[in-house]
Each structure stands twice: as structure tokens, then as C-alpha cells.
Amino acid sequence: MPTELQLGSGDPAAATVDAVVIGVSALDGAPVLAPGAAEIDTAFDGDLAGLLAVAGATGKAEEVVRIPTRGAITAPLLLAVGLGSGEADAAAVRNASGAAARALSGTGHALSTLGRIDLAAAAEGTLLGAYAFTAYRSGDGASAPVGRVDVLPADTDTGAAEALRVATAVATAVTVARDLVNTPPNDLYPESFAQRAADLASAAGVEVEVLDDVALAEGGYGGVTGVGQGSSRKPRLVRLSWSGGSAPRKRVALVGKGITFDTGGISIKPAANMDQMTSDMGGAAAVVATTVLAAQLELPVAVTATVPMAENMPSDTAYRPGDVLRMYGGKTVEVLNTDAEGRLILADAIVRAAQDEPDYLVETSTLTGAQMVALGTRTAGVMGTEELRDRIAGHAQATGEGGWAMPLPAHLRADLDSRVADIANVTAARWGGMLAAGVFLAEFVPEGLPWAHIDIAGPSFHTGGPYGYTAKGGTGVPVRTLWALLTDIAENG
């Protein structure tokens, strides 16, 4: 059962819940109560900060200190969560709420005062922190996520109910993307992924079109067809369209890489960590979830997702190094490495998406290991036309998902020159691999169309221990960045 989120009201000191969450900031290493905890402080004789200090609290980010209340307040447990030493802003509240939600696993009903600082951030952090992927666990998990959390709004917050509704929808979209990424590749393959995307879309009133392997071959989609031909699980191309209502402000094309498993193909990957290539459809998951979200929240922007799906396998029917593929739209590509498969399926999808003449085209993919070499595991690389690129990088930072603008150096194009075809799929030199992939994609974007490529190889899949509102596995990045961009476009064009 996913955690239920509700708008809280009344005096938190008198709430009949199992636990109350308050925020604590660090000031010169000592804990100070964050705004929102006044009634609780009074119930502890006005010296709750002193009590917390005795209990070892410092207020450092994500620190969780448990105080048995022994009747001082109605709830038996007070959970003090650290906001860090900086300003108690949305990012701090989101992270603290995530840490609190994780610490509350096994609890039935909690109340959070962090919504008094930032309701949307508290709601998102709580839902995402409480997220657990349990579909493949047998027996009842000893660590069931917190059952229900009531989030208190600030007294002055008149739009609280609406803010909670939107934040809940956004966080749920992130969990939809996480679920898709976390579903193992024996169950999530092109056909089943297309079906799940279609089901999610139909339920939200989004138009669906699915091209199967026959339609793809007949339609001239040489990239998706070539990459997908080595697997008995045949490729698909899914198109989801949200109309934007009666008067859409702009038209946005979203494209996401949907490799349901990437072995590397004939240019096979080493065995170590190959299991992580179950996450090679993180871009596809994010654009599917975002498009469905746009429909659910009736965003006045027309959004069309174009999602190529394939499994990259080595076999006697697999495409080979040396093959030349004719992509959708007619350009030819010499395959020098079958492990650079993402850009091949994306080339088809980008050309198809651009045919609709959108105002913006945003593509996202787990495209290169080089992304992690350049920026680490938590910062996406954002490339493309300058204005849109910088706008997206700004949203990536503001949402806390992380992202940084990177260049597309023109000189790299010559490194992609092919002996036989219009372009090769990899460069001989390994330097700037993330940028070279972006330069390859740029070749398939029509002149004059504002576009961006977000490389999420690291940020979309977390392999370390949990932190903030992020658990191991699919993170749902960049759903919130895409959503921030779409709402920005709805408001500002």
C-alpha cells in the first residue's frame, strides 16, 4: 500500500497520531527549532531545543532523533529531523521529509509540521521517501512504509488543498517512473512496457499509438529495428499525446530512451554490474510518467511522447559492428559499436517527433557512462540549443534532481565521420563521450527547433544506500525537472 497523504489541521500537540515530525536546524552545531514547532515547544515547557541537544541532536541535514513524549503531547513519539545549517528552503524540507518518511517505516499514522515551512516540498519528500518497491518480495515486509501522513500547512496558506493535490500527483508520477525502472527485464520488455504505457495513458485520457516490429520495419525505422532485431522480444515505438486542452499554449515533444535491457549486443558489456542495465529505459519511463501527469493535471500545453523500446541482445539475428542502418527520415549510420544503441533508437524517435512541428523537443536518456565520468552519479548532463538547455538546467537544480549545462563542441562532429555512411555511431577517441553522443543526436534535429538532450545515466538509477527521499534503484529522475519545464512553458511560453 502506498502512503496516504492528507492535509492536516489543528494543534499538532493534541493530534491523535503515532508520531509528530518537527524540523531542527543547525546553528553553530547546536539544534534550533525550525518554524512550525511552536505548540510542541510549549508542550515541552519551551525548552524543546535544550531537550533535543541532550538527546544528541545537532540539526545536521537528515539527522533523525526520536523523543518519547511520555504525555507531553498526545502522540507517543516525537521525530526531530535535521534541516541542516543553511536556510530551511524547499530542498532542505524535501530532503528532511524524505529522511523522516524512511525513519517512520512501520508507523501507522504520522503528522508532519514541515508543511508549515513548504507544503509542496514536505508532501513530495514524504511520498518519495516512503516509496518502496515490493512487487517482487514474498511475505509481508517487516518494513511497510508509513501508512498515512497528515501534512500541516501554514496558517496563511490559502491554496494548501490545491498545492497538496498537485504535489501528490507529481510525486505519484515519480513513483510511476520508479516502478517501471525497478521492474526486472524479464517482465518489462518492449511489448509489456508498451502495454503498461498504453494502460497508464488510456486511464488518464491520453491518446495512444503503438507501432510493433512489423510496422517499424515497414515505416523505415531502421534504428529501432536494427537495435531490436537481436532479441526475441520485438521492438516497439509508443506515441502518447495529451492535447493540452482547448487552448494549448505550446506544443512540446518528449522523447525517452527505452532500452529494456542493454547487454551491449555483439559489442558485449563486461559481466560486472550488467544487471544495472535493467535501468536503461529510465528516460522512457520519465517521459511516459510526465505525459500522463500533464493530462491528469490538465496542463495547457500539448505534450507528445515518442518512446522507442528495444532490447539490445547479442544473437545470430543481432545487428553487427559494420552494419549500416537507414534511419527514419533517410540518414544512414555506420554501426561501429553495438553498445552505442541508445542514440540509434533515439535518432528514429527524434525525427518522428520533429515531424509534428513542436515548439520544443526534449529528449532524455541513460545514454553514456561518460556522463558519470564528467558529472558524477547525481548530476545530469544537459545539452542542446542554448536557451532551452539553460532553462532545463535551471529547473533541474531548482527541483533538487540535479543537472548542469554542457556544450556540444562542433569539432566533435568530424570524429563521427564514417567510411561508408552519413555518420558513424561512435568516435574513435573516447574523450568527451557524453558530448559526442549529444553531437550525434543533434544531427537528427531539424535546423531551428529548440531542443535539449538530458543524459541521466547516473541520476536515474541509484546504486548506493538511501539518502533524503531517494532509495536504491529507480529514482524517477527527471520527471520533476520535465514537469517544472512544462509548467514554466504553460506560464511563460
Residues that bind ligand BES (CB under 6 A): 262, 280, 337, 339-342, 366-370, 426, 433, 457
Q: Among 18, 63, 124, 262, indicate the residue that binds Mn ion (CB under 5 A).
A: 262
CB of 190 to ligand BES, least distance (A): 16
Q: Which of 233, 234, 251, 343 is catalytic?
A: 343
Binding-site partner at residue 433 among Mn ion, ligand BES, Zn ion, none, CB < 5 to 8 Å by type:
ligand BES
Q: How many helices (H) and strands (E) in the chain?
A: 15, 21
Using the minimum distance from each CB to ligand BES, give the nearer residue, 219 or 369.
369
Residue among 243, 173, 239 at smallest CA distance from 212: 239
Using the minimum distance from each CB to ligand BES, give the nearer residue, 58 or 279.
279
Q: Does residue 39 have a known ligand-binding role? A: no
DSSP structure string for 190-259: HHHHHHHHHHHHHHTT-EEEEE-HHHHHHHT-HHHHHHHTTSSS--EEEEEEE--SSS-S-EEEEEE-EE
Binding pattern for the stretch 317-346 against Zn ion, x by CB under 5 A and - elsewhere: -------------------------x----
Q: Which of 60, 165, 249, 269 is catalytic?
A: 269
Q: At 420, is the secondary structure helix, strand, or coil?
A: coil
CB of 369 to Mn ion, least distance (A): 9
Question: Which run of H or E residues covers position 52?
Answer: helix 48-54
Using the minimum distance from each CB to Mn ion, give the nearer residue, 56 or 270.
270
Residue 280 binds to Zn ion (criterion: CB under 5 A): yes
Question: Which run of H or E residues covers position 405?
Answer: strand 403-405
Q: Does residue 280 have a known ligand-binding role? A: yes
Residue 363 binds to Zn ion (criterion: CB under 5 A): no
CB of 368 to ligand BES, least distance (A): 4
* CA atoms of 20 and 16, how far apart (whole Å): 10
How many of the chain's residues bind Zn ion (CB under 5 A)?
A: 4
Q: Does residue 455 have a known ligand-binding role? A: no
Binding pattern for the stretch 239-268 against Zn ion, x by CB under 5 A and - elsewhere: --------------------x--x------
Q: Does residue 341 have a known ligand-binding role? A: yes
Q: Is 60 a catalytic residue?
A: no
Tell which phi-psi region holds residue 330, choosing left (phi > 0), alpha (psi between -120 and 50) or beta: left
CB of 182 to Mn ion, least distance (A): 20
Residue 334 binds to Mn ion (criterion: CB under 5 A): no
Round the CA-based radius of gyration of the chain to a whole number and report it: 24
> Residue 247: what are its φ and ψ, rounded to 5°?
-140, 70
Q: Is 343 a catalytic residue?
A: yes
The full length of the chain comes to 493
> Residue 466: what are its φ and ψ, rounded to 5°?
-65, 145
Beta strands in 243-358 (DSSP E): 251-256, 258-262, 302-312, 324-326, 332-334
Q: Does residue 118 have a known ligand-binding role? A: no
Residue 18 binds to Mn ion (criterion: CB under 5 A): no
Annotated binding site for Mn(2+): 257, 262, 280, 339, 341
Residues involved in catalysis: 269, 343
